Structures are given as C-alpha cells and as structure tokens.
C-alpha cells in the first residue's frame, strides 16, 4: 500500500478495508509521495432518494452541513481546514453526497473530527435554513437562465417517466419553497448515519494508525437504521420523445438522450468506449474529468459536426450510476446553421452508428484514449479518494478495480452490439433550445 498511487494500467492499489462496529465503511490507501492526506466522507443519498415534496433535499442538506455543528461554530467552519493550507468542498448528485478535505498530514485528526461532527451534530439553525433557501432558489433560477443547463434538465425529465432520476439535483422550485427546517433535519437524520456512509483516507499515513484515529472519532456515533429505499424501475421507452424550448437567446442547443446501462451492467464498459469513439474520452472521474478539454479531434461526431462547420461544439455524457441513467449527446449550433439541420445531421450520424457500429480502428483509438484518461485522472490523492468512494457508493466493492480490464477487453463487436441496443430511435429523447 506504499509508494505508487496507481499502476500504469490505471488500476488503483487495494485499500485497507475495515468496518467499524456501528457499520461505517472505512477505506485507507497509503501514498507517501508527499506529506499530504485527503479525507472523503460519502453518503448513499442523492436526488433519487427524494420523494414527492422533497426534491432538492439532498442538495440543501449538503449546504446546511457547512453551517456549523455542536462542536464547530458556524463562523469557524470555513476556516477549519484553511488554517492547514488545505482545501475543502462537497457535492451532491443523483446517487450520492460527499465531502472532501485535503491538507497536510498533520491535519488528519482535525479532518476526521470535522467529518464526525458533520455526520452526527449539525445544527440546522432556523435562520440559517431560511437564508440558505434564498441562496438555493437563486441558484436554481440562475441555472434556468442558462439555455444549455435548462435544456439538460428538461430533456432528462422527459426521458424518465417514473424513476426519480427525472428530478434535477437542485430540486423543483415549488418543493424548495415548501420544505421546512424540520423536513431537512429529518432527512439529515435519516441518511447521515454510519450504516449509510463510507470514509476514505488517502495519503501519507500509516493505515493502522489512520484506522485507529477513525475509530476514535467515529466509533461513538450511533449506527442508525439502514435507510429504507423504494426503487422504481423505469419502464422501457416505447417511442422517440421530442421537446422544443423557445426563449430569448442568441444560440441554438441540441441534446439527444438515450437510456443507458448502470455501472454494474456488463454493457457499461462497451458504452464507455462507444461514448469515447463518438465524442471523446472523458474518463471515469465525475470530480475531475469534466473540468478539462476532451481529446476529441478524431471523435466521430466532432469530425462530422464541428469539422464540417455545422456545430460550434459537441460533447457526450455517460457516467457511472447505481441504476440505468442516460447517455447524452450535446451540440451547439454554429452561426448560420439552422437548428433543425443540426438536429437532423446529428440523428443521422447516430442512426448510422446504431445500424453499423464503429470500425475497429476507431474503437481501438477510443479505448486507448479512455485508458490514458483513467491513468491521468488518478494523478493525486484527492482524485484517488474520489474514485474509491464514488464507486463504492454507486456500484459496490470491486467494480472500480475491474473496470480497466473490462475496458481493455472491449471489442468492435461489443461496441456494435451496445450501439444497436441503446441508440435505437425508440430509446431516445431529443430536445432543442430555439432562440427567439
């Protein structure tokens, strides 16, 4: 567990695995390349767990859990890690909520203390709750003013009829106005328990000592009940769905979404390669992969849409999820290109791949680029901590370790098979933003 952070093929070293008596999962990886440590605390709760009237609760709870605890006053919370020269953050998505702090190794105990406090002793002050309601509603309205973001929300909500993946992580505005402080605090108590959490420690630590420190900080927290989850299975789509948004704007946007496999599905790795071949390799790291440029100059849709002058930009999105989610292609119309023309050209290109797959040389290039991205995105203890916790929370143990080999084994026949299955006309939702 010492020294190198990952192998040349992108496989991460096996973590030290432990389960505390209260059910908290602990994963520790030693990496002695720098005197730093990264702590991630993951919770198996996201927007898919929100019932009617509670959409946006997971995200709002995440915000509230930066507002002070019984042991850390609100005005000291933001400086708690800063004094060690580190950084902290958190995010919520459809399957998970997580918090991260990375700092010098002498801050480990304080980082563990912070996360133990966050898990069990957040305050939910009534005034702070109301203040944050205003912040989140403003954030939602700001997102709706971004045509590309608005289109993404509406296409997703149209693609799903039953599964709660249809709700945006930020929630619907009516629910945000209606939720009370007690609703949020009850949600926090239901899901922020050791039995629903995974603690990941990566860095310049001794695994045995780090485990002892984790036990000291978290061991006294009551286990809590394992959350009861009602799982809705999205019915198979029976025909193409289309929507158009007309609003003031200057640029046209197009999105094409297909229902796609979950991270544990055998089709997940071939779909990753298909996405890389179509729109460029994004890797596997939701935290890091979408912040930088994608190698897509030779990707199929870039060549047919951007190089040909029909689109100013094209992108794809396919990530690991607990339940089947979406593969989405996005395109921005080039100046002078009618949106209907961009839509028809994009659908024709996708239909061609559905019918005939991808040539072996393009599959091989996509596979190599994807494998390289996986290696590059494990370039820090923070990113490694993310990957370990993300995949443990979304897919369970073992999936992350197996993925590099699964990707390496993908053939052009595999890609053709998943293209025929998932890129079918009846499985897609097409949406466009028409500026007026």
The 3-state DSSP composition of the chain as helix, strand, coil percent (nearest 5) reads 45, 20, 35
Q: Are 132 and 64 in contact (CB under 8 A)?
A: yes
3-state secondary structure of 426: helix
Q: Half-sphere exposure of residue 211, counting CA atoms within 13 Å on the CB side?
A: 16
- Closest of 327, 377, 388, 373 to residue 98, by C-alpha: 388
Task: Please tell me the predicted confidence (pLDDT) of residue 69.
Answer: 96
Alpha carbons 317 and 279: distance in angstroms, whole number = 9
| pLDDT at 4 exceeding the cut of 60 | no
Q: Are 50 and 167 in contact (CB under 8 A)?
A: yes
Task: Please tell me the predicted confidence (pLDDT) of residue 9.
Answer: 64
CATH hierarchy code of domain 16-218: 3.30.830.10
Q: Tokens standing for 139?
A: 């954030």
Which phi and psi (to 5°) does residue 170 adopt? -75, -15
Partners of 98 in the beta sheet?
A: 42, 91
3-state secondary structure of 406: helix
Alpha carbons 204 and 79: distance in angstroms, whole number = 23
| pLDDT at 295 exceeding the cut of 90 | no
Alpha carbons 264 and 248: distance in angstroms, whole number = 42
Alpha carbons 166 and 94: distance in angstroms, whole number = 9
Q: What is the pTM of this model?
A: 0.95
Mean pLDDT computed over 160-170:
97
Taking the C-alpha atoms of 116, 117, 123 and 129 in order, what is their torsion angle to the nearest 10 degrees?
Answer: -70
Domain ranges (residues) in the chain = 16-218, 241-435
Q: Half-sphere exposure of residue 227, counting CA atoms within 13 Å on the CB side?
A: 21
Task: Please tell me the predicted confidence (pLDDT) of residue 38.
Answer: 97
Kind of pairing between the strands at 241-247 and 311-317: unpaired
Q: Which residues contact 297 (CB under 8 A, 6 or more apart)?
A: none
Mean pLDDT computed over 126-146:
96
As a whole number, the mean pLDDT across the chain is 94
Task: Please tell me the predicted confidence (pLDDT) of residue 78.
Answer: 78
Could you please report the per-residue DSSP string of 283-342? -S-TTTGGGS----TTSHHIIIIITTTSEEEEEEE----SS-EEEEEEEEEPTT--HHHH
Q: For residue 83, name the pLDDT band (cuts at 50, 70, 90).
A: confident
CB atoms within 10 A of CB 144: 16
H/E stretch holding 87: strand 87-92
Task: Please tell me the predicted confidence (pLDDT) of residue 113.
Answer: 97
Q: Which residues contact 216 (CB under 8 A, 6 or more apart)?
A: none
Could you please report the per-residue DSSP string of 146-195? SHHHHHHHHHHHHH-SSSGGGS-TT--HHHHHH--HHHHHHHHHHH-SGG
Q: How far is CA 372 from CA 7, 161, 289, 381, in A?
A: 12, 37, 12, 18
Q: If you ran DSSP here, which 8-state letter would residue 84 be given?
A: T
Which phi and psi (to 5°) does residue 114 adopt? -60, -45
| pLDDT at 283 exceeding the cut of 70 | yes
Mean pLDDT computed over 232-241:
96
Task: Please tell me the predicted confidence (pLDDT) of residue 8.
Answer: 60
Can 16-218 and 241-435 be said to share one CATH topology?
yes
- Closest of 17, 191, 217 to residue 112, by C-alpha: 217
| pLDDT at 115 exceeding the cut of 70 | yes
241-435 CATH, one of 3.30.930.10, 3.40.50.720, 3.30.830.10, 3.90.380.10:
3.30.830.10
Residues in the chain: 436
- Closest of 221, 219, 224 to residue 191, by C-alpha: 224
pLDDT tens-digit profile of 17-52? 999 999 999 999 999 999 999 999 999 999 999 999
Q: How far is CA 164 from CA 50, 210, 226, 317, 325, in A?
A: 7, 37, 20, 19, 10
pLDDT tens-digit profile of 198-223? 999 999 999 999 999 999 999 999 99
């Amino acid at each position: 567990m010492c020294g190198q952070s990952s192998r040349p093929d992108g496989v991460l070293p096996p973590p030290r695995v432990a389960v505390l008596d209260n059910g908290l999962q602990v994963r520790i990886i030693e990496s002695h390349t720098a005197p730093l440590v990264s702590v991630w605390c993951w919770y198996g709760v996201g927007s898919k767990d929100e019932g009617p009237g509670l959409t946006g609760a997971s995200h709002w709870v995440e915000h509230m859990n930066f507002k002070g605890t019984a042991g850390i006053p609100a005005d000291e919370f933001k400086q708690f890690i800063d004094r060690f020269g580190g950084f902290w953050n958190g995010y919520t998505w459809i399957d998970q909520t997580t918090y991260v702090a990375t700092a010098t190794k002498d801050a480990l105990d304080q980082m563990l203390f912070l996360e133990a406090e966050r898990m069990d002793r957040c305050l939910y002050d009534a005034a702070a709750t109301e203040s944050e309601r205003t912040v989140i509603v403003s954030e939602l309205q700001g997102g709706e003013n971004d045509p590309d973001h608005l289109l993404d929300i509406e296409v997703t909500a149209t693609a799903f009829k039953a599964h709660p993946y249809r709700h945006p992580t930020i929630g619907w505005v009516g629910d945000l106005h209606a939720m009370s402080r007690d609703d949020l605090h009850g949600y926090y108590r239901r899901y922020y328990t050791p039995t629903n959490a995974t603690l990941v420690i990566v860095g310049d630590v001794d695994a045995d000592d780090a485990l002892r420190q984790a036990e000291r900080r978290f061991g006294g927290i009551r286990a809590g009940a394992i959350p009861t989850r009602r799982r809705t299975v999205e019915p198979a789509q029976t025909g193409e769905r289309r929507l158009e948004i007309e609003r003031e704007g200057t640029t046209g946007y197009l999105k094409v979404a297909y229902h796609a496999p979950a991270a544990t599905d055998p089709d997940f790795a071939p779909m990753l390669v298909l996405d890389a071949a179509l729109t460029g390799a994004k890797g596997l790291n939701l935290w890091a992969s979408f912040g930088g440029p994608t190698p897509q100059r030779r990707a199929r849709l870039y060549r047919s849409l951007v190089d040909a002058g029909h689109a100013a930009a094209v992108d794809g999105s396919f990530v690991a999820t607990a339940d089947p989610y979406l593969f989405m292609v996005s395109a921005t119309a080039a100046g002078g290109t009618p949106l209907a023309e961009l839509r028809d050209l994009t659908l024709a290109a996708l239909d061609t791949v559905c019918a005939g797959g991808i040539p072996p040389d393009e599959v091989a290039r996509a596979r190599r680029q994807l494998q390289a991205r996986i290696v590059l995105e494990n370039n820090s203890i923070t990113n490694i901590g993310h990957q370990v916790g993300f995949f443990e929370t979304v897919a369970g143990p073992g999936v992350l370790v197996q993925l590099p080999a699964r990707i390496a084994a993908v053939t052009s026949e595999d890609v053709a098979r998943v293209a025929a299955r998932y890129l079918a006309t009846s499985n897609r939702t097409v949406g466009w933003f028409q500026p007026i």
